[in-house]
Amino acid sequence: MTEPLNTGVLLFLPYRAMEARVFAGLAAAGFADFTPAQARVFQRIAPGGSRLTDLAEQAGITKQSAGFLVDQLERSGYVERVPDPADGRARLVRIAERGARSVEASRGIVAEVEAEWTAHLGPRRMEELRGILSDLREITDPWR
Amino acid sequence: MTEPLNTGVLLFLPYRAMEARVFAGLAAAGFADFTPAQARVFQRIAPGGSRLTDLAEQAGITKQSAGFLVDQLERSGYVERVPDPADGRARLVRIAERGARSVEASRGIVAEVEAEWTAHLGPRRMEELRGILSDLREITDPWR
DNA sequence: CCGATCCGTCAGAGAGTCTGACCAAGCCGT
DNA sequence: ACGGCTTGGTCAGACTCTCTGACGGATCGG
C-alpha cells in the first residue's frame, strides 16, 4: 500500500473517479438528494423489486442500515414499497418513477465517462479491461 | 447500474473483495484496531512522512477528518508525529514501528490475493489488467 | 518587520453504520 | 391443520466518520 501501488488501489482510483462524476452529474440534473450510501443500495434493486433483507446482503450492510437508507429513498420518491406476492411477510422495494428518471440520467453520465476512458485507452484495451474484470467477478462477487 | 454492470461497478467488486481480505487478514494478525477510514489515510503516508494537510488532500477528505484519524492511528501506535525540519509550522506524520509491522503483514495478504487472481485469469491477462489500470490512472488520479 | 499565508485544532452537527433485542407473520413437517 | 421454527423487518442506543465554520499561532516573504 505504501509503495508500488497494489492492484486494489489501482482498481479503486478509477472507481472513485467514476463515482464522483456520476454524483456530480446527477446533482446537476436535479437529483442532488442522493447520497453515495443510498446509491449503493439503490443500484442493487432488481428489475422486479427486491426484499430489504436481500438488498442488505448484496450491499454488504446490515438490514438495519438498509432499512434506514430505503426509508430515505422512499421519502425522496426514488423507490416505493409494495407487498411481495410470493411471501406475505415481505415487502418488495421497487424503483419508483423518480428513481427511473435518475437511472436514465446516470446512464448517460456513465456512458460519457466510459467514452473518455475508451478515448484514452483505445477501444481494444477498453474492451479487454471489461472482459478481464468480468472474469474476475466470478471469484470476487460473493453474490453471483 | 441497474443492468449490464457498468465499468464502475466492475471495478468496485474486486476492489471490495481485496479490501475485505486485507482487513480480515490484518485482524487475524493482531491488527484488529484498524478501520477502513484509518487505512485510507495511512496508505498515503510518504516514506519520509507527510504533512496532515497533504494527507487530507490526497485522501480526498478535510484536514479536520484527517486529523481525527491520525489521532486514532497515533493512539494505536501506527504512526508518530515529528516536527517538520523544512517548515517550522508543520509536523510530519510518520509510520511508527507497529505501523511498519502492519504494512509488512498486509503486503503478504495482498500478494496472496493477487496470486489467486493470477491463477484465475492467467499471468498474461493479470499483467494486462495492471497495465491498463496504470494507464487509466493518468486520467483518473487527481493527485499524480 | 509586518502583513499575508499556511498548519493545525476546536466546536458543533449530521450521516451512516453496527450490535443486540424484539415482534409479528407465515412456512412447513408431522 | 396446527404449532414450532424460521424469516422479514423494526426499534433503541451507540459509535465512527465526515463536514462546515471559525480560529490561534507560527512563519514566510517582500
Q: Is residue A2 part of a domain?
A: no
Q: Residue A3: what pLDDT?
A: 46
Q: What is the pTM of this model?
A: 0.85
Q: Which residue is nearest to nucleotide D27 (CA to C1')?
A: B89
Rg of chain B over Cα atoms, rounded to whole angstroms, equals 17
Q: Residue B107 maps to which CATH number?
A: 1.10.10.10
Q: Is residue A1 part of a domain?
A: no
Q: Is residue B92 part of a domain?
A: yes
Residue A121 CA and nucleotide C29 C1' are separated, in Å, by 60
- Tell me how far apart the alpha carbons of residues A56 and A73 are, in angstroms, rounded to a whole number: 14
What parts of chain A have a pLDDT lower than 70?
1-4, 142-144
In which domain, by residue range, is A62 found? Answer: 7-140
> Taking 90 as the threshold, does the pLDDT of residue B142 lie above it?
no
Cross-chain CB nearest to A103 (options B2, B18, B135):
B2
- Report the run of H or E that residue A95 belongs to, with start and end: strand A91-95
Angle at alpha carbon of residue A69, lines to A64 and B8, rounded to 5° = 115
| Nearest nucleotide to B69, CA against C1' atoms | D17
Q: Residue A20: what pLDDT?
A: 87
Cross-strand pairs, B93: B50, B81
Q: pLDDT by residue (tens digit) across B23-34? A: 989 999 999 999
B22 contacts A60? CB cut-off 8 A: no
Q: Is residue B2 part of a domain?
A: no
Q: Is residue B100 part of a domain?
A: yes
Listed residue (B141, B60, B126) closest to A120, CA to CA: B141
Provide the angle, in degrees to the nearest 10, between the axes of the packed helices B7-28 and B97-121: 130
- Pull the grid cell for residue A56: 442488505
- The domain total for chain A is 1
Residue A12 CA and nucleotide C20 C1' are separated, in Å, by 34
Q: Residue A4: what pLDDT?
A: 60
Chain D bases closer than 7 angstroms to a protein Cβ: 7-13, 16-22, 25-28
| Residue type at A58 in one-letter notation | Q
Q: Is residue A58 part of a domain?
A: yes
- Pull the grid cell for residue B111: 500478494
Q: Is residue A53 part of a domain?
A: yes
Q: Is residue B73 part of a domain?
A: yes
